[in-house]
Structures are given as C-alpha cells and as structure tokens.
Amino acid sequence: MEQHRTRPSNDGPRRGTPSSPPLPPQARRRPGGGRRPARPVGGMRPGPAALRLPSPRLTGLGSGLFCAAAMFLLGFLDQLLFGASLTAYGVLFVPVCVLTALWVRAGDVLTAPVVAPIAFAVGLLPVADGGGGLLGRMLGLVTGLATQAGWLYGGTLTAGLIVLVRRVRWVQRRRRRG
C-alpha cells in the first residue's frame, strides 16, 4: 500500500533569499551587529550583583494563590511566634501586598488589589480567636476583620497604587509601540 505525504514539501525559498517573508522583530539584527541580548537565566534582572532581585511573573490566579498561601503561612507563624498578634499579622500583610502587586504579569495586574483582601481573610483563619467551634471561629474572623480594617485597607491601597502606576506605564508603552 502506498503512503501519501500529508505535509507539503519544503522546496520553497530558503531563509535569507529576497523572496522570503520578513523576520519577526525579535529575530532581526541590531544596527550595531549582533542579536538582541538573551534574557537573563533564572528570572533575574540584569544589574550589579548586590542589586539583583527576583522578578517572577505570576498570572492573576497565581498571584491570588501566592498571596493567600503567604498570608496563611504568615498567620500560622504569627500564632506560633507572637501568640496570634493581630497587629503583627497586619504589619506582615503590607509587604505581601507589595510583592503580589510587583510580581503579577502586566496583563493581569488589576487582580492584585482584588486578591489582597481575600488573602487577608484566609490568613486570619489561624490567627482569629475562636472559642467554641465553627461559630466561635467565624465570630473571631469577623472581629479580626473589623479591628484590623486599617491594615487591610492600607495593604490593599498600597497594592492598588502600585498596580495603577504599573498599568499606566504599560498602557503608555503599548501606545508608543503601536
């Protein structure tokens, strides 16, 4: 039985000949010769060794999971180290909001201020003062949310400001390109 080819043959023009389609921008040569520098390995930004910071890019869902998991772990640490201090928990919430707002992808940046209050509530579960079963735990959670509203609003506002600046810069870059 004869096998027929399912793919067309590659007898067309080769790359570099005048009839080939133009290369995408990332493959074009720079005016000074050479190609664009390779992206740093390991998600690190180029710069002096002392100033290199990780720059992961999380999706909207990933940023929510990161923020909620970090706050839940910090809630347990707060309970173990500080005896469930709500003030210490609130202080730890602000840097997590900042990291979430900085690490989320540019396209999903508006999710950071949304996931921050959810993560605050998730992290309060181990910290909340719960005396008698589920109802006592829920009352402790509501009390914690009410008494620590300043930290909740402060962290969410910080994430919102960072997101706003990042979004404006992203829109400006897209307008310049297009």
Q: What percent of the chain has pLDDT over 70?
A: 70
Residue of higher predicted confidence among 15 and 124: 124
Please give the full DSSP string across the chain, using - where no structure is assigned: -PPPPSS--S-SPPTTSTTSPPPPGGGSPPTTSSPPPPPPGGGBPSS-GGG--B---B-HHHHHHHHHHHHHHHHHHHHHHHSS-HHHHHHHHHHHHHHHHHHB-GGGGGGHHHHHHHHHHHHHHHHS---SHHHHHHHHHHHHHHHTHHHHHHHHHHHHHHHHHHHHHHHHHHHHH-
Reply yes or no on whether the pLDDT at 20 is more than 60: no
pLDDT tens profile 72-89: 999 999 999 988 899 999
Q: Is the pTM of this model over 0.85?
A: no
What value does the mean pLDDT take over residues 28-34? 56
